[in-house]
Amino acid sequence: MENYVNTPDMACETVPAPKQAGLSRIGLIVPSSNTTMETELPELFRRQAEATGHKYTFHSARAGMKNVNREELLAMVAKAADCAAAISDANVDAIAYACLVAVMAQGPNAHTGSEESIAQAAAENGHPAAVTSSAGALVRTLQEMGVRKIAMVTPYMKPLTQMVREYIEGAGIEVLDAVSLEVADNLAVGRLDPQNLPQIARDLQHEGAEAIVLSACVQMPSLPAVQLVEDELGLPVITAATATTYEILKVLGHKPSISGAGSLLSGAPVKLPTGI
C-alpha cells in the first residue's frame, strides 16, 4: 500500500481561500420548507449581473420548519448558528438569514442579536462574512428611506401578522393597515399566486402611507407584482426579498442596478409622496 505524508500543501484548509474577482458568493439560511427565497433572490441578482457584469452565486443551508407557528419558528432560530457555520464553509461574502417572522417572534429588535450570532458562528469557523437578516433588512430599509407610515400584506395568521406589525412599529414605523391571508402551511404560502397581489394592494387602506410592504414574508412570492403595484399606486413598494437584496448589495459595496423590481433596487433615488 502506498504511504501518504501530510505535507503543508496537502493539509486541510486553515485560512480562507482568496476571493475571486468579479464574483460574490451569497449564503442563505432558509426554512426547510422555503421555496421562494432561492428563486426570487437569484432572479434579482441575475438582473444585477446583467446590468453590471459582476456575477453572484448562492449557497443555502436549511433549518427545519413546516408550519408558520411560534413553536416551530423558535425551534428554527436555535439552528441558525449551525447553519451559518455550514454555509461559511463555502467561503461566502455575505450571509442572509432569510426568515423574517422567525426573528421577529423573538421580540423587539431581535434581528440585532440574530445577526451577531450568525456572524460570530461564521467567524469562529474561520470564514467571517457580512450578515443581514430579512427582519433587520426590512426595518432598516424603511428607516433609511425615511418612511414613517406603511400598509402591508402578509400570508400569516392574524396573531402572527399582529406580531409583525408590533415589531415594525417598535422600530418607529406606523402600520396603517395590514392584510392577513391566513395561510399556516409554509409550502402553501410558496404556492400563492403573486398575480393576486395588485388587487390585494388596491384594497389596502393606504391613504397616508409612504410605502407599501407587498410581502412581509420571504416565502410569499411577490416579485412579478412589485413594479406593477408601485407604478399603479404611485408609492414605493418593497418586500422582504427586495429589502434583503438591497442590504446584501449594500454590504458588498455594490450599487443596485436592478430593473423591474421597484425604485429601491433601481439605483435611482426613492421618492416618497409629499404633503402627507
Q: Is 12 a catalytic residue?
A: no
Cβ(38)–Cβ(105) under 8 Å? no
Architecture of domain 145-238: 3-Layer(aba) Sandwich (3.40)
Cβ(108)–Cβ(170) under 8 Å? yes
pLDDT in tens, 97-130: 988 888 888 888 889 988 998 999 999 999 999 9
What distance, in Å, lies between the first and last C-alpha atoms of the chain? 80
Architecture of domain 23-135+248-252: 3-Layer(aba) Sandwich (3.40)
pLDDT higher than threshold 90 for residue 90: yes
Distance of CA 257 to the CA centre of its chain: 18
Ligand-binding site membership of 164 (annotated): no
**List of residues 6+ apart from 20 with CB closer than 8 A:** none
Binned at pLDDT 50, 70 and 90, residue 223 comes out as very high
Domain 23-135+248-252 matches domain 145-238 at the CATH topology level: yes
CA distance 221 to 183: 13
Binned at pLDDT 50, 70 and 90, residue 36 comes out as very high
Q: Is 217 a catalytic residue?
A: yes
The average confidence (pLDDT) of the chain is 88
Catalytic residue among 76, 85, 95, 99: 99
Ligand-binding site membership of 34 (annotated): yes
Ligand-binding site membership of 99 (annotated): yes
* Boundaries of every domain in the chain: 23-135+248-252, 145-238
**Hey, what's the cell of 67?**
408550519
Ligand-binding site membership of 100 (annotated): yes
Cβ(23)–Cβ(55) under 8 Å? yes
Q: What is the dihedral of CA 258, 225, 158, 103, to 10 degrees?
A: -20
